[in-house]
Structure 1
Amino acid sequence: MGPNEFVFLLVGLKWTVALSAIGFLGGGLAGLAVALARTSGVRMLERGTAGYIALFQGTPLLMQLFVVYYGLALAGLKLDAWAAVAIGFTLHASAYLGEIWRGSIAAVPRGQAEAALSLSLGYVPRMARVILPQALRISLPATVGFLVQLIKGTSLAAIVGFTELTRAGNIISNQIFQPLVVFAIVGALYFVLCWPLSLFGARLERQLAVSAR
């Protein structure tokens, strides 16, 4: 295990971070739309997004990536590995974040919405100025926790040939025949990436618990 192999692992780590960021940001935007639709009071939107969430939460991420990459190719839409995993993780994250944020919106005291209505605030200013800022604060620990899970889940992107950290480790292991050494380093890199986020999420949860007393 020399410096060249370690640099190759760092390149894989870079793509792990990039894929996590794209999945989280894209999934966050789509997840916000899902959460708003789930709490809109429009029955068709609520049922449609509930089915969307159930689909992605009820099926393995590995299968979702497989369907996006190979299923779309069978339908005539051939995507490269990068585009396929970016779409797959964005869809996956949107379902989970949408449900997390729906629960956070529902957790905002009903009196807040009633007070906004009494001030004649419409739906958009009511959500933007009153409900969503409070819901965001409530959702932060769970959102950070999901980001940690998303980072670790990027290892499944190897199924379509995307070279992230785990696949980079597998490639090096097959070349130098030192799997314990290679994957100990891979695990350490994941730990360095995820542990600070886990601590941050736990700290947020403690702070919110104290402020809620």
Structure 2
Amino acid sequence: MASIGPNELFFLAQGLKWTLALTLIGFVGGGIFGLIVALARTAESAALRRVTTGYIAVFQGTPLLMQLFVVYYGVALIGLNIDAWLAVAIAFTLHASAFLGEIWRGGIQAVPKGQTEAAKALGLHYVSTMKDVVLPQAFKISLPATIGFLVQLIKGTSLAAIVGFVELSRAGQIVSNQTFRPLTVFAIVGLAYFLICWPLSLWGARTERRLQTATR
């Protein structure tokens, strides 16, 4: 059995870098589109609500693995060739937008209606009402759930290996095959995931407790 040296650790670090990059792209892109989805879900237009309800149902009701397959191989069926990096970035952005949109929809609807009515009484238009009154409160309410989803998204990046994207889990598999030390390699991989996700989980739990205390 080969030893795990600096080259192997560097390769794992490169995989970790792409895991974090993919998480950042999926979370930021999903956040932008998720905000649009949340606003559409709470809009007065019944058509908008139906469309976004269907969108959320599709992405929440199907496995992320299948969504990666559909984006990567489905785009090729219409004559477009995209690399694995772009395919997984699109898939994770769409996936995150559905979940974040629903989380933030719940936050928007949790804001007391009196806040919106007071804004209307003051003559604020829709954009100002949402930007200055509703959304700041909604994001605060939904912060624990948003952090929880971020943790799930980080762990979900391991599925990107199925279309050839080399992130942390796939890098661990490659190093394990080269060194024949699967237990040691995946202990390192698991520790890396734990050191990223555990502080976020603690932050989310602390934020939730703070919000519960504030509402008493």
TM-score with structure 1 setting the length: 0.99
1:140 and 2:140 are equivalent in the alignment: no
Q: 1:191 Cα shift?
A: 0.3
1:89 and 2:83 are equivalent in the alignment: no
Percent of aligned pairs with the same amino acid: 71
Residues 157-186 of structure 1, C-alpha deviations (whole Å, 9 max, x = no match): 001100000000000111111111110110
Distance in 2 of aligned mates of 1:39 and 1:20: 27
Structure 1 residue aligned with 2:81: 78
Alignment match of 1:62 (pick from 65, 68, 75): 65
Distance in 2 of aligned mates of 1:201 and 1:102: 19
1:143-182 residue pairs with structure 2 within 5 A? 143-182=146-185
Structure 2 residue aligned with 1:34: 37
Residues 105-138 of structure 1, C-alpha deviations (whole Å, 9 max, x = no match): 0000111111111111111101111100100100
Residues 13-57 of structure 1, C-alpha deviations (whole Å, 9 max, x = no match): 000000000000000000000000000110111000000000000
Q: 1:2 Cα shift?
A: 1.3
Distance in 1 of aligned mates of 2:67 and 2:82: 14
Structure 1 residue aligned with 2:7: 4
TM-score with structure 2 setting the length: 0.98
Q: 1:78 Cα shift?
A: 1.1
Structure 2 residue aligned with 1:13: 16
For 1:40, give the aligned amino acid: A
For 1:12, give the aligned amino acid: G
Ranges in structure 2 where 5+ consecutive residues have no aligned partner: none
Runs of 4+ in 1 over 3 A off after TM superposition: none
Q: 1:93 Cα shift?
A: 0.1
Ranges in structure 1 where 5+ consecutive residues have no aligned partner: none
Task: Provide the aligned length of Structure 1 versus Structure 2.
Answer: 213
Cα RMSD, aligned residues only: 0.6
Q: 1:80 Cα shift?
A: 0.2
1:130 and 2:138 are equivalent in the alignment: no
